[in-house]
Structure 1
Amino acid sequence: MSTPTAPASGIPADQRFQTLFEQAPFSAQLLSVDGRTLRVNRAWQDLWGAHDGDPLLEFVLSGYDMLADPQLEAKGVTPYLRRAFAGEAVRIPAIRYDPAELGKPGLARWVQATARPIKAEDGRVAEVLLIHEDVTERLQAERELRESEAQFRTIADAMPQMVWSTLPDGYTDYFNEQTYEFTGLPAGSIDGERWADILHPDDREEAWRKWRHSLETGAPYEVEYRLRHRSGEYRWVLGRALAVRDGQGAVIRWMGTCTDIHEQKRARDELLASNRRKDDFLAMLAHELRNPLAPISTAAHLLKAASSDPAKVQRSADIIERQVRHMTELVDDLLDVSRVTRGLVELDRQPVEMKTVLAHAIEQVRPLVEARGHELTTRMPAGDVHVLGDRPRLVQVVSNLLNNAAKYTPPNGALSVAMAVGEDVEIRVADNGMGIEPDLLPHVFDLFTQGARTPDRAQGGLGLGLALVKSLVELHGGRVVAESAGSGQGAAFTVTLPLLKKGDLQAQAATPAIPLPRATHQLRILVVDDNQDAADTLGLLLETLGHEVHVAHDSARALEAAEASRFDAFVLDIGLPGMDGFTLARELRASVSGAAATFIALTGYGGVDDRHRGQEAGFDHYLVKPAEAAELAALLRR
Structure 2
Amino acid sequence: MAAQAEPSLLVDYAPVMLWQAGPDRARSFFNQPWLDFTGRPLEAELGFGWMEGMHPEDRARCEQVCQQGFASRAPFTLDFRLRRNDGEWRWLLETARPLCQDGQFTGFLGSCVDITDMRQAMEERRRALAERELLLAELHHRVKNNAQATTSFLGLQASRATSPEVAAALRGAATRVMLATLVQDRMFRIAENATIDLGAELLATAQAAVDVVGRPGIVIEAEMEPGLLLPVSQATPLALIVNELVVNAARHAFADRPAGTIRLALRRPAPGLGELMVADDGVGLPEAQRRNTPQGCLGLHLVPRLARQAHASLRLDVDGGTKATLRFACG
TM-score (norm: length of structure 1): 0.24
Which of the pair is proportionally richer in strand?
A: 2
Larger radius of gyration: 1
Higher relative CO (CA 8 A, sep ≥ 6), structure 1 or 2?
Answer: 2
Which of the pair is proportionally richer in helix?
A: 2
